[in-house]
Structure 1
Amino acid sequence: MDVPEILEAAGLLVPEKTATENDVTVREVWEYLVADEWETALGLLEEFGDAGPLPLTFWETLGDAAEQLRMERSAAWCHWRCTEIRNGMIRADLTLRPAGEGRRTTPIDGAGVLRPMWDIGHRTATGERSVNIAALWLEEVPFLEPGGRCRVRLVPLVPSSWRQLEPGRRITMHEDRTVAGTAIVLEVRPPAAPSEG
C-alpha cells in the first residue's frame, strides 16, 4: 500500500467521536489526507494514541506510513507504542544524577535507545538487590542531560516482573552498580490482552 492508503487505514481504526487533547477529530485528519498533507495527517493520528487505547494494528499501520515518509522519529514512536501494547508500560517522573555525582556525563537519547536496569524492589534468594531491564522513552524532550528531569515511559523486558508496581512508588535507574537516577511511578499499564492487541 502507498502512504495515503496506509494513513486512511489507520484513520479507520480511530473511533469517529474520538478527539485529541487539542480537540482534533478524525474528520479533520481526512481533510489533510484529501489535501495530500500526509506528514500532518500522520502527526495528528499519532496524537489519538493519548485520547484512548488504540489497537496494535493502528500503531503498526502508522509505523509503516512513517517509514515510507522517512520520518524516523515518528516511525520509532509508532514501533515503541506497539511494544507498549505487547509488554505494558510504566510512566514515571525521572531525575538523573548530576554529572559530577554519577557515571553518566552525556545526555540520554530519548527515542527508546537506552535499556537501563531498574531496582523495583526485587531481591535474590540471598537477599541481594535484583534488577530488571526496561527500555526508556523521554516524553518531553529529545535528550535528557545529567541532572535533568522529565517524564518517561518504560517498557519492561519481562512484563511479569513489573506487576507489583503502583503509582507513587520510587524506583532507581542503573547503568552499572551505581544509581544513575531516581523515578517516581505515575502510571502502570499492563500488556494488552491478546484480543485487544
Structure 2
Amino acid sequence: MDVPKLLEAASLLVREEIATENDITINDVWDYLTHDKWEVALGLLEELGDVHPLPLSFWEALATAAEQMHLRNSAAWCRWRCYETRNGIIRADLTLHPTGESHRQTPLPGNGVLRPMWDIGNRTPAGESVLNIAQLWVEFTPSQGPGGRSTVRLAPLDPSQWQHLQPSQVITMHEDQTVGGTAAILEIQPPTTTTAA
C-alpha cells in the first residue's frame, strides 16, 4: 500500500492549528492509517470533495491509493472525480421509465460504466435531433431500477456539446431509439482546473 499517496492527498487538508471543530485534518487521517484502517482513511478523504472543490492531484493520489488497495469502486469514483475536476460537474434528477415503457428490464449499473445517449437539445443543420453520449454515475446507490428515480452525475464524451445546459432544464436518456428516462438538471459546475481532458 502506498501510504505516501494517501498522505499526499491528506496534505491538502486543513492544518491542525487552524482547524475548527468540524474540519478534517491530516492528523485525523493519520490516526486511521496508523491503526491500519486504510479504507476508512480513503473514505474520509473521498468525502472531502463534497465539501469544497479539490485539485486534480488530490483525486489522482486517491485513485492510485484505491487501485493499490484493490478497491475498484473507490478507484472508479476517484477517477470520475478526476474527470469532473477537468471537465466540470453535471448533476441531474433522473427518472427511468418503468418496465414496458422502455426496453430496460433490469437495473442500470450506477458506477459509471453505462454510456447512454442523451437528447440535450442539440440539432443538425437540417433541424434533426442529435444525441450526445455521457457516462452515468448514480449517487448513493449501486444501481437504479426501471421506474426508479435517483440523483445522477453525467460525464459527457464531448463536454463542449453540453455547455448550454442550465439548472431545471429537462433532457432525455436513450439506450436505443426509445426514451428510457428523463432527467432534470440540478447543478452545473465549471471545471476547477485548466488541465486538458
Q: TM-score, normalized by length of structure 2? A: 0.92
Partners of 2:124 and 2:52 lie apart in 1 by 38
Q: Which residue of 1 aligns with 2:85?
A: 85
Q: What is the correspondence of 1:84-103 to structure 2 with a 5 Å cutoff?
A: 84-103=84-103
Q: Which residue of 2 aligns with 1:178?
A: 178
Q: Which residue of 1 aligns with 2:10?
A: 11
Answer whether contact 1:87 1:157 (CA < 8 A) is retained.
no
Partners of 1:13 and 1:24 lie apart in 2 by 12
Partners of 1:132 and 1:79 lie apart in 2 by 21
Q: Which residue of 1 aligns with 2:36?
A: 36
Could you say what secondary structure the match of 1:95 adopts? Answer: strand
Q: TM-score, normalized by length of structure 1? A: 0.92
Q: What is the correspondence of 1:4-153 to structure 2 with a 5 Å cutoff?
A: 4-16=3-15, 23=22, 25-26=24-25, 27-153=27-153
5+ residue gaps, structure 1, are none
Partners of 2:84 and 2:93 lie apart in 1 by 18
CA deviation after TM superposition for structure 1 residue 192, in Å: 3.0
Give the letter for the 2:12 counterpart. L
Could you say what secondary structure the match of 2:130 adopts? Answer: coil
Partners of 1:76 and 1:110 lie apart in 2 by 11
CA deviation after TM superposition for structure 1 residue 35, in Å: 2.0
Answer whether contact 2:55 2:193 (CA < 8 A) is retained.
no
Bigger shift: 28-37 or 130-139? 28-37
Structure 1 moving runs of 4+ over 2 Å: 13-19, 190-193
Give the letter for the 1:132 counterpart. N
Could you say what secondary structure the match of 2:91 adopts? Answer: strand
Q: Deviations for 1:1-30, whole angstroms, at most 9, x for unmatched residues?
A: x422211111002343678xxx45123222
Q: CA RMSD for the aligned pairs?
A: 2.0
Partners of 2:19 and 2:66 lie apart in 1 by 22
Percent identity reads 55
Could you say what secondary structure the match of 2:129 adopts? Answer: coil
Partners of 1:142 and 1:37 lie apart in 2 by 23
